[in-house]
Amino acid sequence: MSDSSAQKRDSASPSQSRSPSPTTSSQDTLTLRALVSTKDAGVIIGKAGKNVAELREQTGVKAGVSKVIQGVHERVLTVTGPVQSVAKAYTLIISQLVASNPSSPVTASPSSSSHTTMRLLISHNLMGTIIGRNGLKIKAIQDGSGARMIASKEMLPQSTERIVDVQGTPEAIGHAIEEIGKCLLEDWERGMGTVLYHPGTAEERTSARRSTNGFTSSSSTSFNGSRRANGDSARRATSPTSQQASVAAQPAANLRTQNISIPSDMVGCIIGRSGTKITEIRRLSGSKISIAKAPHDETGERMFTIVGTPEANEKALFLLYNQLESEKERRVGREAQQQQELQD
């Protein structure tokens, strides 16, 4: 599709954070991503990019879809702009999908052909902002919009994003997205450092994240837009020891502090026996990582504080979540083995 290259650049926007552009009012700019089928992506783009071009013209948003990956049937839709414009864009997109195929973008409700689902990608750290204490916020959004919202419990592979299914009419979903967007902007700092989800096999996702410096620019923009040339990053990242020394020598203005929440039952796998794994992550990334001794709220999750350059922090996040993925796979394998033994 002729618009793919431009869309790929658009989809590299930061997830659930303020726009890094110094020329816009960052407090009013939202980037919201959603998972769509390859078929629906074609409808969104249109012939020779006609539909997405019209969408940009009508709403003033930046919009694009991630590139096609052979054998993968999902792509990421990214829309960036003022909250109301993003909500309007999604409403138009959903209306277009419903009109072109009543079962789009996921499945149509049997009660009404106009009811459908949009699968939003939301940073794990921002889920609490949307759900609210005792679920009051998500209930208010549902009551006010008429849409139904279902939040997944698990993070998507090799990312810190989770899916929120928003179900209803195009207008109801658009209304809900506007309220969700307001929540995300109010608490934008919690979304900094989000590791974006890339559809595909594990190898393709890893490849999609890597650039010369080991990571995509999409995540680096989450740090208030700070980024360095890939060549500079690559030179500094070649030696973990030299990287750590260079981070220590960085002026305070170049350092970023990020907080991420980790489920309490997963903290031990990240720390490792006698602290070996967390020590290795600190050494390889060059970031300082501290771990709260107790859960920070009723979710029971513990806060990890990461301090370093944007590049060092990004590598720390990548290593932390790779460790989480490995542990989840190990636990799934162990449970499967136990079930097999019970059956035998």
- Give 273-325 pLDDT, tens digit per residue: 899 999 999 999 999 999 988 887 666 778 889 999 888 888 888 888 888 87
Of 120, 7, 159, 158, the C-alpha closest to 68 is 7
Q: What is the arithmetic mean of pLDDT over 251-264?
A: 78
**What is the residue-averaged pLDDT of the chain?**
75
- Give 42-91 pLDDT, tens digit per residue: 999 999 999 999 999 999 999 999 988 888 899 999 999 999 999 999 99
For residue 302, list its beta bridge partners: 262
Amino acid at 159: S
Percent of the chain with pLDDT over 70: 72
Percent of the chain with pLDDT over 90: 35
| pTM of this prediction exceeds 0.95 | no
Q: What residue spans in the chain does CATH classification 3.30.1370.10 cover?
A: 237-343
Q: Is the pLDDT of residue 170 over 70?
A: yes
Residues 6+ apart with CB under 8 A from 239: none
Domain spanning 237-343: CATH superfamily:
K Homology domain, type 1 (3.30.1370.10)
> May I ask the CATH architecture of the domain 4-191?
2-Layer Sandwich (3.30)
Q: How many CA atoms within 13 Å lie on the side-chain side of 137?
A: 15
Q: What residue spans in the chain does CATH classification 3.30.310.210 cover?
A: 4-191
For residue 62, list its beta bridge partners: 80
The pLDDT assigned to 140 comes to 95
